Structure 1
Amino acid sequence: MFDVVTGGAGFIGSHLVDTLVAQGNEVLVIDSLCSGRRETIARHIDSCKGRFVQKDLLGDGWQDSIRGADRLFHLAADPDVRQSAVNPDPTMQNNIMATYRVLEAMRQHGVPELVFTSTSTVYGDAAVIPTPESYTPLEPISVYGASKLACEALISAYCHSFGMKAWTFRFANIIGSRSGHGVITDFILKLRKDPAELEILGDGKQTKSYLEVHECVAAMLFAVGKARGTVNTFNIGSEDWIDVKSIAEIVAEEMHLTGTRFRFTGGDRGWVGDVPKMQLSIDRLKALRWKPQTGSRESVRIAVRDMLAEQQHGVS
C-alpha cells in the first residue's frame, strides 16, 4: 500500500505516519514545515521506511511524487480558528486552494482515494447536541469552519465527477503530544510564565468534547477499512465533554502547582468564532463497531502528561 500524507510532519499527521509505517505501508510525507517539524518523522526517513518531500501545496514540484499512490491523506491546513477571524487570507489559501490543488493532482495522476480531516466547526452553533453528521443547516461561525466546509464540497464534487472515493472526518478537539496550539498548549505556556495566575478566555464554562490523538488515528483508519461509499462522512470525538475551567485545573495539577488564581476575560465565547458547547454524535462510527476507549477528562489528562513530558525530553 502506497500512502501519501500531506501535513505528515504536523501534530495529527505525524501520529498517522507512525501508524501507517508500523502497518508496513510505503509512506510519502509532503509538508512545507511551516508548522510541522521534521524531527517528528525523522526516524522513518532515516530508516528509509518513509519518504519526505518538503514543498508547499500552493507551489509546484510535488505533484509528480504522488503518482501511483493508492490513497492520499490530506491533513495539511491552517488550523488556527482564532487567527482566521483576524486575517482570513491564509485560511482561504492553505485550506481551500491547497485542497483544490491536491484534488487536481489526484485527478491528473490517477490517485483513487482521499482521506480528509475536517472539523466540528462546520456545524456552527448547532441546536442539536450531540450533533450528528446529518445535521442541517451547516452554518459555520468561523472563517476556519467555512473553509473546511468548502473543502468538503469540493471533495464531494471531485468524487462524483471523477470516480474517486473519499472519507471525511469531522473532528472534535483532538489533543496530545506534538500539538503546537490549542487550550492545553496555551495554559501550559501561560503557567510557565506566571504560575500564580492563569488567564482563561471567556467565562471558563465553554464545554466541549476532547479526544486523545492516538484514539483519533485509530478511528480514522478503522472507518477507512469499513466504509466503502463514494463519500463517507464521520464525526470523531469522545462521548462526553469537559469545561475549560476543569481543563485549567488538570493542567495546574499535572504541573504540580497549588494556589493558582484563575482570571476570566468574560463572556460565553473565548474568541470570535468560538462555540460555547460542542459534542459530536459518533453513532455512525459506533454502527461500524468502533468506540473510543477514553473520555474527555481522561484524554485531557493523558494529553497534558504527554505534552509536559515532551517539553522536558524532546519529540516523542
Structure 2
Amino acid sequence: MKNILITGGAGFIGSHLVDHLLEEGEWAVTVVDDFNDFYAPEIKRNNVRAHEKNSGYNLIEADIRAQSSLAQVFNQTQFDAIVHLAARAGVRPSLKDPQLYTETNINGTLNLLEQARQHSVKKFVFGSSSSVYGINAKVPFSEEDPIRQPISPYATTKAAGELLCHTYSHLYDLASVCLRFFTVYGARQRPDLAIHKFVRLISQGKPIPVFGDGRTRRDYTYIDDIIAGVRAAIDFDQTNYEVINLGESRTVELRELIALLEQQIGHKAIIDSQPVQPGDVPQTFADITKARHLLGYDPQTQIEDGIRRFVEWFQGSEDNRS
C-alpha cells in the first residue's frame, strides 16, 4: 500500500479524488480538512461519510496554517505523495478578506512544502487555478503565457503557490506538478459556484444573479475529467516540475449555460442583472495540448451531458431539497 495525503479531501474535488483512490484499493488515504464555515460544514461531512467506513481512510481535522498540527500528521505517516487541494477559494470572496487568502493559500502551501521536504516526500501535486491568467487576450490559454497580471487576491495566491512549488522542486528535488483547473463542476460542487447556485435558484423559482451582459465565457470542466488528470499527475515522473492546464478546451457563454440549465430543469430562469464584478475575467479557455502529451489527458464530458448529470444529481440529493 502507498500512503497519500490529500489536503482539502472533504471538499468537492478532493472527495471525488478520495473516491477514486479508495476504489483502486492500492492507497492508504489520509485527508486533512479543517471543515471551515466558508460554506456549511455538514456538506463536507456528507461528502466523507462513505469514506469513513473504509479501513484505508484516515480523516484528520486540521488547519494547514497550523505548522504544529501538520507536523503531527507527518510524524504519524511517511507519505509517498501529497495532493494539495486545500485552499480558500473564490475570486470575489478574496477581495473581501485578502489576508485570510494569503495566510491559507500561500503560508499553508509553504507549510506543506516544508513538511514534504523534512520528511522526504517524493511527489507534490498542487491544485492551482485558471484565474492565474488574469485578463489574457491570447486564447486559448497556454502554460507558456505570462501570469504577471492577476486581477484578484485569489489568483495571486495561486500563482504564488506555483512559484513556491518550483522553488522546492529546484532546491530540494521535490517532484511537483501544478494543475491549473478550469471551472470544475459536477456532483458535490460547492453551493456558492454558478452552476450549483443557478440550478438551486431556478428550481426554487428565484432570480439568478447575472453579472454583466451574460456574454462572459468559461471553459467548464466536468469533475470526472479533472480527477482523471489529477490521477495521471500523481504518477507523472518524466520531469521534476510542470505546470499543466486541466480544462475541457471549449468555451461556453453564460447565456448558453443558462439556456442549458433551463432546458434540463424545465423552468425559465428569472434574471437579476448585476454590474460586472471586480476580479472577474471575461473568459477562460484552456489549451490542453500539454496535458494530452504529458498526462494522456482526454476530457470526455461535453457541457450538455455534464449539465444533465449535474441536474440529475441535484434533484436526487437530499442536501439540495431544502
- Tell me the equivalent position of 1:49: 56
Unaligned runs of 5+ in 1: none
Q: Per the alignment, do residues 264 and 121 of structure 1 end up closer, same or farther by CA in structure 2, a change over 3 Å counting? A: same
Q: Name the count of aligned residue pairs.
A: 309
SS at 1:291's partner residue? coil
Contact 2:35–2:61 (CA under 8 A) maintained in structure 1: yes
**1:205 to 1:227, Cα distance in 2 relative to 1, 3 A:** farther
Deviation for aligned residue 1:249: 2.1
Judge which range, 283-292 or 144-153, deviates more.
Answer: 283-292
Q: CA separation in 2, counterparts of 1:265 and 1:208?
A: 18
Partner of 1:287: 293
Matched, 1:26 2:28: yes
Q: Go from structure 1 to structure 2 and tell me whether the alpha carbon gap of 1:39 and 1:63 turns closer, same or farther (over 3 Å shift).
A: farther
Matched, 1:157 2:173: no
Which of 128, 135, 138 is the matching residue for 1:125?
A: 135
Among 90, 93, 104, which residue is 2:114 paired with?
104
Which residue pairs with 1:9 in the alignment? 10
Comparing 128-137 with 296-305, greater Cα deviation is found at 296-305
CA distance in 2, matches of 1:313, 1:198: 16
Give me the whole-angstrom Cα distance separating, in 2, the residues matched to 1:276 and 1:172: 14
Separation (CA, whole Å) in 1 of partners of 2:274 and 2:248: 28
Structure 1 counterpart of 2:240: 230
Report how far residue 38 of structure 1 moved: 2.5
**TM-score computed with the length of structure 1 as normaliser:** 0.91
- CA gap of 1:253–1:296, structure 2 versus 1, over 3 A, is closer
| Kept after mapping to 2: 8 A contact 1:170/1:234 | yes
CA drift of 1:217 comes to: 0.5
- The reply on whether 1:249 has 2:249 as its aligned counterpart is no
Asked whether the 8 Å contact 2:132–2:147 carries over to 1, the reply is no
Matching residue's letter, 1:307:
F
Matched residues in 1 for 2:212 and 2:237: separation? 39
Deviation at 1:41, TM superposition (A): 1.9
Task: Give the equivalent residue in structure 1 for 2:205.
Answer: 194
**Aligned Cα root-mean-square deviation (Å):** 1.9
- Percent of paired sites with the same residue: 27
**Pair 1:276-2:276 in alignment:** no
C-alpha distance in structure 2 between counterparts of 1:125 and 1:310, whole Å:
36
5+ residue gaps, structure 2, are none
Q: Name the CA distance, whole Å, in 1 between partners of 2:320 and 2:153.
A: 36
Pick closer, same or farther for the CA change 1:42–1:311 going to 2, 3 Å. closer
Measure the CA separation in 2 of the matches of 1:298 and 1:245. Answer: 17
Question: 2:18, 2:29 within 8 Å by CA — same for their partners in 1?
Answer: yes
Q: Deviations over 1:274-305 (max 9, x none)?
A: 11111010000122432111233433333333
Q: For 2:236 and 2:118, locate their aligned partners in 1 and report how far apart those are by CA, in whole Å.
A: 27
Greater Cα shift, 291-300 or 89-98: 291-300
Q: Secondary structure at the match of 1:292?
A: coil
Q: 1:130 to 1:301 in 2, by over 3 A?
A: farther
2:70 corresponds to which residue? Answer: 62
SS in 1 for 2:69: coil
Q: Post-superposition shift, 1:89?
A: 1.4
Cα deviation, residue 56, structure 1: 0.9
Match among 33, 39, 46 for residue 39 of structure 1:
46
